[in-house]
Amino acid sequence: MTLLPLSALREGQGGRVVAINGGRGCTVRLMSMGIVPGKKVQIAGRRGGAVLVSLDGTKFVIGRGLAMKVIVDAGKEG
Protein backbone atom coordinates (compact mmCIF):
# COMPACT_ATOMS: atom_id res chain seq x y z
CA MET A 1 0.00 0.00 0.00
CA THR A 2 1.41 3.35 -1.07
CA LEU A 3 -0.55 6.40 0.01
CA LEU A 4 -0.06 9.47 -2.15
CA PRO A 5 -1.95 12.66 -2.91
CA LEU A 6 -3.65 12.47 -6.32
CA SER A 7 -1.53 15.40 -7.48
CA ALA A 8 1.66 13.34 -7.05
CA LEU A 9 0.67 10.53 -9.46
CA ARG A 10 2.36 10.28 -12.85
CA GLU A 11 0.45 10.38 -16.13
CA GLY A 12 -1.08 6.96 -16.75
CA GLN A 13 -0.72 5.90 -13.12
CA GLY A 14 -3.83 4.71 -11.33
CA GLY A 15 -4.98 4.15 -7.77
CA ARG A 16 -7.90 3.79 -5.41
CA VAL A 17 -9.28 6.76 -3.48
CA VAL A 18 -8.68 6.23 0.23
CA ALA A 19 -9.66 9.51 1.82
CA ILE A 20 -10.41 13.15 1.16
CA ASN A 21 -8.21 15.21 3.36
CA GLY A 22 -10.05 18.51 3.52
CA GLY A 23 -12.90 20.50 4.99
CA ARG A 24 -16.61 19.69 4.61
CA GLY A 25 -16.95 22.02 1.60
CA CYS A 26 -14.36 20.37 -0.60
CA THR A 27 -15.29 16.85 0.55
CA VAL A 28 -18.90 17.42 -0.49
CA ARG A 29 -17.89 18.92 -3.82
CA LEU A 30 -15.62 16.00 -4.70
CA MET A 31 -18.12 13.40 -3.49
CA SER A 32 -21.02 14.93 -5.43
CA MET A 33 -18.99 14.39 -8.58
CA GLY A 34 -18.29 10.77 -7.71
CA ILE A 35 -14.82 11.09 -6.22
CA VAL A 36 -15.55 8.87 -3.25
CA PRO A 37 -13.34 6.60 -1.12
CA GLY A 38 -13.14 3.18 -2.77
CA LYS A 39 -13.27 4.48 -6.38
CA LYS A 40 -10.55 3.65 -8.89
CA VAL A 41 -9.04 6.73 -10.53
CA GLN A 42 -6.40 7.18 -13.20
CA ILE A 43 -4.36 10.21 -14.22
CA ALA A 44 -5.21 10.74 -17.90
CA GLY A 45 -2.96 13.75 -18.27
CA ARG A 46 -1.17 16.52 -16.47
CA ARG A 47 0.00 19.90 -17.66
CA GLY A 48 1.85 21.89 -15.02
CA GLY A 49 -1.18 22.95 -13.02
CA ALA A 50 -4.32 20.85 -13.09
CA VAL A 51 -4.50 17.07 -13.44
CA LEU A 52 -6.85 15.26 -15.80
CA VAL A 53 -8.47 12.40 -13.88
CA SER A 54 -10.42 9.54 -15.39
CA LEU A 55 -13.04 7.80 -13.23
CA ASP A 56 -15.72 5.33 -14.40
CA GLY A 57 -15.21 6.52 -18.00
CA THR A 58 -15.70 10.20 -17.13
CA LYS A 59 -12.87 12.70 -17.13
CA PHE A 60 -12.45 15.55 -14.66
CA VAL A 61 -10.06 18.46 -14.58
CA ILE A 62 -8.98 18.92 -10.96
CA GLY A 63 -6.92 21.90 -9.87
CA ARG A 64 -3.63 21.15 -8.14
CA GLY A 65 -4.79 22.51 -4.79
CA LEU A 66 -7.83 20.23 -4.70
CA ALA A 67 -5.96 17.22 -6.15
CA MET A 68 -3.52 17.44 -3.23
CA LYS A 69 -6.39 16.76 -0.86
CA VAL A 70 -7.42 13.47 -2.47
CA ILE A 71 -5.40 10.63 -0.95
CA VAL A 72 -5.06 7.53 -3.14
CA ASP A 73 -3.53 4.12 -2.70
CA ALA A 74 -1.25 3.70 -5.71
CA GLY A 75 -0.59 0.02 -4.96
CA LYS A 76 2.79 -1.72 -5.26
CA GLU A 77 4.08 0.18 -8.27
CA GLY A 78 3.83 3.59 -6.53
Partner 1 sequence: MVGNPNVGKTSLLNALTGGNFSVGNFPGVTVEKKEGVATINGKKFIFVDLPGIYSFETESLDEKVTRDYLIKEKPDMVLNIVNALNLERNLYLTLQLTEFEIPMIVVLNMIDEAEKEGISIDAKKLSKILGTPVVKTSAVREQGIDELKREILKGGRIPKSFSGSLEEIVRMAENIAKEVVKVEKVDRVIEEVLDEVFMDTHLGIPIFLSIMWMMFVFTYSVAEPFTELLGSLFDFLATYIASFDGWLFSMLGDGVVAGVGSVLSFIPNIAFLFLFLSLLELSGYMPRAVFLVDGFMSRFGLNGRSVISLIMGFGCNVPAILATRSIEDGKVRIATTLVNPFMSCSARLPIYVLFAGMFFPENGSVVIMSLYLIGVVIALISALILRKTLLEGESEFIMELPPYMLPNPKELWLMTWVRTKHFIEKAGTVILGMSIVVWYITNYPGGSIETSYAAMLGKALQPVFSPMGWSWELVLALITGFAAKEVVVATISVLNVDVASVMTPHQAFAYMLFTLLYMPCVATIAAIRAEIGTRWAVFAVSFSFLVAYVISLIATGVGLWF
User: From the CB of 66, what's the least distance to partner 1, in Å?
Assistant: 4
Q: What angle do CA 24, 1, 65 make, to 5 degrees?
A: 35
Positions touching partner 1 (CB under 8 A) are 25-26, 28-36, 44-45, 47-50, 52, 56-66, 69
Quickly list H helices, the chain.
24-32, 64-67
User: From the CB of 2, what's the least distance to partner 1, in Å?
Assistant: 24
Q: Which is nearer to partner 1, 3 or 28 (CB)?
A: 28
Q: Which is nearer to partner 1, 57 or 76 (CB)?
A: 57
